Amino acid sequence: QVQLQESGPGLVKPSESLSLTCTVPGGFISGYCWSWIRQPPGKGLEWIGCIYYSGSTNYNPSLKSRVTMSMDTSKNQFSLKLSSVTAADTAVYYCATESTGRLDYWGQGALVTVSS
């Protein structure tokens, strides 16, 4: 069982950057791709991307120009930064673990609202 916990500001102004952190209390497990998924209110799921323990990343091309993922193994955390946000980026953001393509464990989600 892997526990995940998202944290970060719940309100971000348009054109600014959204930053979220996912804490993994039990530490990182090699072989997982540490993932971010988002869900606009009342809508479906969108895969944002993931980062491996090695630091290599895969990003959704629709967001690639604005997304940066990073990992801090000393703090058992991985992070998402999304730049130049608009109202369309308002969503619940989930961190999750991906093992051979399946998203096994999820955080509880963090609602981020983009508004001035």
Partner 1 sequence: EIVLTQSPATLSLSPGERATLSCRASQSVSSYVAWYQQKPGQAPRLLIYDASSRATGTPARFSGSGSGTDFTLTISGLEPEDFAVYYCQQRRDWLRTFGQGTKVEIK
Residue 100 binds to partner 1 (criterion: CB under 8 A): yes
Check residue 45 for interaction with partner 1 (CB under 8 A).
yes
Q: Which amino acid is at 65?
A: S
Rank residues 35 and 79 by Cβ distance to partner 1 and give the closer one.
35
Residue 49 or 77 with smaller CB distance to partner 1 = 49
Element (H, E) at 69: strand 67-72
User: Does residue number 106 form part of the binding site for partner 1 (CB under 8 A)?
Assistant: yes
76 phi/psi in degrees, rounded to 5: 55, 45
Q: Long-range contacts made by residues 8-11, C-beta under 8 angstroms, separation at least 24? A: 8/110, 8/112, 9/112, 10/110, 10/111, 10/112, 10/113, 11/112, 11/113, 11/114, 11/115
Binding to partner 1 (CB under 8 A) within 61-80 occurs at 61
CB of 6 to partner 1, least distance (A): 10
Binding site for partner 1 (CB under 8 A): 44-47, 58, 60-61, 94, 96, 98, 100-104, 106-109
